[in-house]
């Protein structure tokens, strides 16, 4: 008596049998689709929302505009894409998270420090190459009204860190780990994370490359912390605290030392630009 072996389960993301397409290519395609999908979704919502507010006669202050933009990009864009993908998979447990313990707390502190080590390392390399990073467009708003940075400090911890890590670590990195080794998935997720920030900067093409490379390099830290702790709260806190510190430093810079950035040269100028990033 012979038996027929069970068929391989199909991969809905590959459009059929898993043997049709290399699962690694499918995973990378899904990662790119999700990584840029959140940005494109928020851009589409913003294009609809702006004229709607204008036609309703609503005038939004610069600070209100940034907060509204954060809500659209982070919550609706990144959060919406994450929720849609998890619903598509039918597995909201795909993202690993829980109440942090002492080990998680150590990872948060060490991760925060390592992100600054990464910024300094990239600044040294950029300075040696004679390239000035592109600037985050939010710095232009903050230069006019440093109070913007104070508002962004709690937003970094409560909105930016959680929602960016939800998509790029909890969803994208987890998806890549299904097809790659954990650390290959970390590298790929960090690259996607860096590329997705391309629209946030202004400057030369070489400066843009430096800025995106800096983001990809420091993104490895929360990515590794997620892989090691299996708790999304850890990278969300690392990311949020790092950004909050950045905004605090920028508030001090623009509020009390507005001429410092323009007077800095060489490595100091590169480091200041990367801190603004």
> Helix 23-55 vs helix 182-195: angle between axes, to the nearest 10 degrees?
30
Q: Dig out the tokens for 250 from the structure.
A: 């920028």
Structure tokens at 153: 């400090």
Q: What is the pLDDT of residues 66-75, one digit of tens each?
A: 888 889 989 9
CA distance 148 to 144: 9
Cα–Cα distances in angstroms (integers) from residue 263 to residues 133, 145, 152, 266, 275, in the given order: 16, 20, 26, 10, 16
The number of angstroms, rounded, from the C-alpha of 257 to the middle of its chain's C-alpha atoms is 28
Q: Which pLDDT band, with edges at 50, 70 and 90, does 31 fall under?
A: very high
Helices marked H in the chain: 23-55, 62-70, 80-89, 102-129, 138-144, 147-155, 161-165, 174-177, 182-195, 205-229, 233-256, 260-263, 266-276
Instruction: Using the predicted structure, report yes or no on whether residue 104 has a pLDDT greater than 70.
Output: yes
Q: How far apart are CA 13 and CA 126, in angstroms?
A: 39
Say whether pLDDT at 180 is over 60.
yes
Specify burial of residue 123 (Cβ count, 10 A radius: 0-12, 13-18, 19+): buried
| Residue 234 pLDDT class (50, 70, 90 cuts) | very high
Mean pLDDT of the chain: 83
The DSSP secondary-structure symbol of 9 reads: P
The pLDDT of residue 265 is above 50: no
Task: Give yes or no for residue 134 having a pLDDT over 60.
Answer: yes
CA pair distance 226, 205, nearest whole angstrom: 32
Per-residue confidence band for 266, with pLDDT thresholds at 50, 70 and 90? very low
What's the CA angle centered on 11, arms 8 and 12, to 5 degrees? 140
The confidence score (pLDDT) of residue 256 equals: 85
Closest CA to 30 of 164, 177, 229: 177
Q: Which of 229, 222, 215 is nearest to 276 (CA)?
A: 215
The residue-averaged pLDDT of 95-110 equals 96
**Confidence bin at 135 (pLDDT 50/70/90):** low
* CA distances for 18 relative to 23, 32, 219, angstroms: 7, 19, 30
DSSP string, 119-183: HHHHHHHHHHHT-PPPEETHHHHHHH-THHHHHHHHHIIIIIHHHHHIIIIIIIIHHHHTTS-HH
- DSSP secondary structure letter of residue 256: H
**Cα separations in angstroms, 191 against 28, 58, 122, 229, 275:** 11, 38, 15, 21, 19
Residue 200: which of 187, 214, 186, 221 has the closest Cα?
A: 214
Measure the CA–CA gap between 143 and 104, rounded to whole angstroms. Answer: 36
Report helix, strand or coil for 10: strand
């Amino acid at each position: 008596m012979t038996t027929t072996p069970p068929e391989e389960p199909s991969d809905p993301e590959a459009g059929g049998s898993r043997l049709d397409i290399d699962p690694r290519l499918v995973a990378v395609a899904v990662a790119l689709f999700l990584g840029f999908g959140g940005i494109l979704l928020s851009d589409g919502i913003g294009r609809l929302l702006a004229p709607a507010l204008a036609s309703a006669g609503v005038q939004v202050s610069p600070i209100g505009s940034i907060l509204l933009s954060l809500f659209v990009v982070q919550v609706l864009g990144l959060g919406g894409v994450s929720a849609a993908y998890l619903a598509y998979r039918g597995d909201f447990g795909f993202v690993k998270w829980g109440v942090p313990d002492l080990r998680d707390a150590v990872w948060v502190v060490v991760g925060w420090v390592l992100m600054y080590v990464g910024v300094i390392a990239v600044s040294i390399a950029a300075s040696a190459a004679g390239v000035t990073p592109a600037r985050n467009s939010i710095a232009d708003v903050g230069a006019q009204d440093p109070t913007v940075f104070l508002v962004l400090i709690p937003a970094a911890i409560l909105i930016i860190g959680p929602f960016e890590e939800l998509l790029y670590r909890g969803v994208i990195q987890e998806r890549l780990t299904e097809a790659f080794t954990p650390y290959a998935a970390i590298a790929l997720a960090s690259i996607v994370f860096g590329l997705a920030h391309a629209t946030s900067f202004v400057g030369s093409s070489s400066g843009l490359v430096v800025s995106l490379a800096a983001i990809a390099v420091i993104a490895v830290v929360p990515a590794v912390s997620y892989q090691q702790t299996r708790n999304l709260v850890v990278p969300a806190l690392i990311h949020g605290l790092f950004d909050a510190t950045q905004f605090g430093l920028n508030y001090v810079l623009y509020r009390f030392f507005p001429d410092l950035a323009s007077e800095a040269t060489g490595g100091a100028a590169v480091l200041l630009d990367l801190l603004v990033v």
